[in-house]
Structure 1
Amino acid sequence: MALQRGDAMIATAPPAARWLLIESANAWPRQALGALQPAPEEPAVSSEVARRCGELGYRPVLIRRHGRVDRAAVRRYALVDCRPGHESVRWGELPTDAYLLNVLEAVATNSLNALPDLQPPTQEPIYLVCTHGRHDACCAVRGRPVAAALAGAYPDRTWECSHIGGDRFAGNVVVLPHALFYGQVPPSRAVEVAKHHAEGRVVPDLLRGSGIYPPAVQAAQHYARLAGHSDSLTALRPTQVQQLANQHYKVTLTTTSATAVVIEVSVHFDTVDARLTCAGKAPVQVRRFDLHGIDVVGG
């Protein structure tokens, strides 16, 4: 539906600076954490994981391999940090779902090294593809072919995942640890996203934004790339964000040279008298960013 309407994906990446990935072979209900299995000593695992993740600023997401799941295999979890300069992934073994509470306690007390199973940090990318059909059918219908394409090329890096936001833009792909959200990815271009990332570049026409930045910065980065500025992962980082009157923002971004680019955008909310997703309701409001100016300074 969003594709037919031509909905803009600009600046639609949700906040996602830190992640807790939880491997789960159980069926995922609409609220994914409901799939976590309680333990006698901790019957409310799902709600407690959600509460602690909220307090710590982590986004909990269920993951599973594409295709047949080996239920006898040891499950894993991962702690992902997407903050610029801190990008890392740390994997560990997950004996029970209740063990997640130990992991989150170690996060809260800054004692991760006390977790015997936790591996050293790596920057090896992870490709998450939303296939959470019980949250929205479009995610399963459009996401699974994308997951199949990525898993065929990168089986160790590809995971199906639970809801990540933006169901109307399925197939949705997130590249960690840079928190890059891609939308409306067709299976024919899934591997392209991964290859560009390996080269240190983004794919601008499929990019919804980076979850480490607020929407105004995501919009500024989009318009800077549209104007011909770098598609490098490390370029176009914000050095200043000014909120002006009338919902205008002035964002200063770094470039690959000695210059900077200053983007002015404004935010508006449009009413759409249609369902945005298969499970959505109408009418709804959608956010839109308009460009008002681009200036190159310095150099």
Structure 2
Amino acid sequence: MEGMSAEQVPDAAPADPYCQDADPRTYPAGRLDEGRCSVQALVAGDSPIATAPPARRWLLVEQPGPWGRDALLQSRFDAEVAPRLAERARAAGLRIQMVRRPGERLSDSRGRWAVADVHAPWVRWSTRDQDADLLDVPLDGSVGIESDAPTFLVCTHGGHDACCAVRGRPLARTLAGDVWETSHLGGDRFAANVLVLPTGHLYGQVPEDGGGLVEAHGRGEVLLPGLRGRAGLTPPAQAAQQFARVELGLVGVADLPVTGARADEAAPDGSQRWTVTLTGPVGEVRVVLDSRLSGEARQLTCAALRPGRFRTWHPVSVTS
């Protein structure tokens, strides 16, 4: 699976049955002009399939107040500790997410932090007295209290992209349960974006009422509309898993674990065929899918300096 960039955002042609509904009446919450990336993505009918980050392990750091473009380094977090924590997390293979309770509830801040592993899956919460404590505490999940309910991280990082703030903040205030605002999750054009821990399922274009997301995960199920993929898996594995879910009607959060993936040689135009194997309820499931670069370059974020191309995913067959 070498050579695939996490920044190459998969898409699907408007005729693809897995594509999102581009009806303007289904726009997520928030008023944005037509030039914004999330509006353009909806109008174009972009599919969010296979766009979850590849990170398996996550470090959540509670930090209320404003965040700049780099939420860790440009916030009220200790400026001397921040770069050292970033290096420590990088060495440990952890992706850092700054989090805060919706509505800037400063009085509710208790210096919480957590480590999550989406493969295990678990998320374990602790508290710190000062930011420097995070330079010494174990980051392997051996400390903390394990959460027994889904945690919902809603991207509201306006310092990174206006779409995330305008779409995400109303959603974060509406969702029930253990809900946090979080820093950049990627895929700004799919705002509002929600990461569900500990399983790592990422959703895009979530409506202000949540669209049944909380209820589905409360039942231990994924919600297929808006599902971008599962963090910790490669893009072809994410796409194959979702195509198989649609074909076989399997929506349990632990359904269809990936057991292998093989790619044919890439063609000169960047297209490539993948074969991904999954474990189904009665044996192996084999998914064949094609990936290729988009025919047109587009503005993938509101802050992008130039248009970019992105990778699209198309199911060929699902057999079991």
TM-score bin, normalised by smaller chain: 0.7 to 0.9
Shift of 1:72: 7.1
Shift of 1:209: 0.1
Residue 251 (str. 1) matches residue 276 (str. 2)? yes
Aligned twin of 1:207: 227
Listed as ranges, the gaps of 5+ residues in structure 2 are 1-39, 267-271
Listed as ranges, the gaps of 5+ residues in structure 1 are none
- Partners of 2:234 and 2:109 in 1: CA distance: 38
- Partners of 2:286 and 2:164 in 1: CA distance: 36
1:48 aligned partner, one-letter code: R
8 A contact 1:36–1:97 mirrored in 2? no
1:160 aligned partner, one-letter code: E
Say which is worse superposed, 236-245 or 212-221, in terms of deviation. 236-245
- Partners of 1:165 and 1:2 in 2: CA distance: 14
2:121 aligned partner, one-letter code: E
**The one of 128, 147, 156 aligned to 1:94:** 128
8 A contact 2:41–2:189 mirrored in 1? yes
Residue 293 (str. 1) matches residue 317 (str. 2)? yes
Say which is worse superposed, 218-227 or 135-144, in terms of deviation. 218-227
8 A contact 1:13–1:210 mirrored in 2? yes
- Partners of 2:189 and 2:296 in 1: CA distance: 13
Distance 1:38 1:120, change over 3 A: closer
1:38 aligned partner, one-letter code: D
**The one of 181, 184, 203 aligned to 1:160:** 181
- Partners of 2:64 and 2:181 in 1: CA distance: 11
Aligned twin of 2:284: 260
8 A contact 1:130–1:173 mirrored in 2? yes
Say which is worse superposed, 190-199 or 58-67, in terms of deviation. 190-199
Residue 8 (str. 1) matches residue 47 (str. 2)? yes
Aligned twin of 1:23: 62
Shift of 1:71: 4.2
1:161 aligned partner, one-letter code: T
TM-score normalised to structure 2 length: 0.81
Shift of 1:162: 0.5
Which SS does the other structure have where 1:33 is aligned?
Answer: coil
* CA deviations over 1:109-152 (Å, ceiling 9, x no partner): x6x65xxxx433234211000000010000000001111111xx
Say which is worse superposed, 206-215 or 218-227, in terms of deviation. 218-227
Distance 1:25 1:166, change over 3 A: same
Distance 1:140 1:220, change over 3 A: same
- Partners of 1:293 and 1:245 in 2: CA distance: 19
8 A contact 1:87–1:123 mirrored in 2? no
1:116-155 paired onto structure 2 within 5 Å? 118-150=143-175, 153-154=176-177
Distance 1:75 1:252, change over 3 A: same
8 A contact 1:274–1:281 mirrored in 2? no
Which SS does the other structure have where 1:63 is aligned?
Answer: strand
RMSD of the alignment, in Å?
A: 1.8
Shift of 1:255: 1.7
Higher helix share: 1
Say which is worse superposed, 66-75 or 55-64, in terms of deviation. 66-75
Report which structure shows greater RCO (CA 8 Å, sep ≥6): 2
8 A contact 2:298–2:309 mirrored in 1? no
- Partners of 1:37 and 1:251 in 2: CA distance: 42
2:317 aligned partner, one-letter code: G
Shift of 1:237: 0.8
8 A contact 2:57–2:115 mirrored in 1? yes
Which SS does the other structure have where 1:268 is aligned?
Answer: strand
Distance 1:77 1:265, change over 3 A: same
